[in-house]
Amino acid sequence: MDFEEMLGIKNFGLYFSVRIEGFEGESFTYSVYSDGVDIAEMKEKIAKAVDCFVSEYETKNIYMGYIDVSVEGEKVFIYQDLGNVEPENNEIAVQELLKAVGTVAGVKEVVINEGLDMLF
């Protein structure tokens, strides 16, 4: 199964690569690797971009899940819990998060659910 296609992110035209290593329930993790930029600075920019997209949907009373942005070693780590997100908005929540990350310069690659072998 082509998970990138299933989530509607295969032909997004993002400037960085995205791959999905597996799925487990309604939570997603995003490992964001930089292209040589300061990781702490990138984390701050990504957090602001994520806050902007979440706020935009909140004004429409659409919940995009619980999202936390942190630094783990040499990557920005994003945790997104889609619990309580309306089922029709699950794909949109993932897509919009990736688009928000795409507004930040210096992203080399995003690995969704890195290291997770559990598939459906």
Burial class (CB in 10 A: 0-12, 13-18, 19+), 120: exposed
Task: Judge if pTM exceeds 0.85.
Answer: yes
Let me know: does 70 contact 77? Beta carbons within 8 Å.
Answer: yes
Q: What percent of the chain has pLDDT above 70?
A: 87
For residue 64, is pLDDT > 60?
Answer: yes
E-only strand ranges, 8-106: 17-20, 27-34, 66-72, 75-81
User: Could you read off the pLDDT of 6-56 as tens digits, one per residue?
Assistant: 665 666 678 898 988 888 788 999 999 999 999 999 999 999 999 999 999
pLDDT computed for residue 25 by the predictor: 80
Beta strands 75-81 and 107-112 are unpaired
Domains of the chain: 18-112 (3.30.70.260)
